[in-house]
Structure 1
Amino acid sequence: ATHVPAVPVDVVDSTAAGDAFTAALAVAWGEGRDLAEAVRWAAAAGAACVRKLGASVALPRRAEIDELFLGG
């Protein structure tokens, strides 16, 4: 077991955070990342999502996820 910390962001709406996390985890793992890295990338996706109001319009693009994942 390992702990993956949340990515700190200002939360606007958490409606689709779980969907963003799950989709990003599937994408990252499907691309061949190891599970730990895939979970960290998925956490960044969930964090990117909650910064916007709404559900489908808040789902992040890869560049937004990478920005938080890479700490930029």
Structure 2
Amino acid sequence: DAAADKVLQETDPSKRDLLIKAAFEISNKDFAYIPLHQQALAWGVSKKLKVVQRADNQVLPYWFVKSE
């Protein structure tokens, strides 16, 4: 919590990035969360298209590319 408070108060972007990195390192070392859900994805796409599967499950036409 203290690390998050420091991030919110810092106005210098480079210093804030370092504080964010330090906060994530603390979180990863302390096992602050336990992932209880894994989203199963089912996709059906024509072979005529290539699609980038985004991590946030959004399907945006921008990422559709016509196969050659």
Query: What TM-score do you get using the length of structure 2 for normalisation?
Result: 0.29
Question: Larger strand proportion, structure 1 or 2?
Answer: 2
Rg bigger for which structure?
2
Query: What TM-score do you get using the length of structure 1 for normalisation?
Result: 0.27
Question: Larger helix proportion, structure 1 or 2?
Answer: 1
Greater relative contact order (Cα 8 A, min sep 6): structure 1 or 2? 1
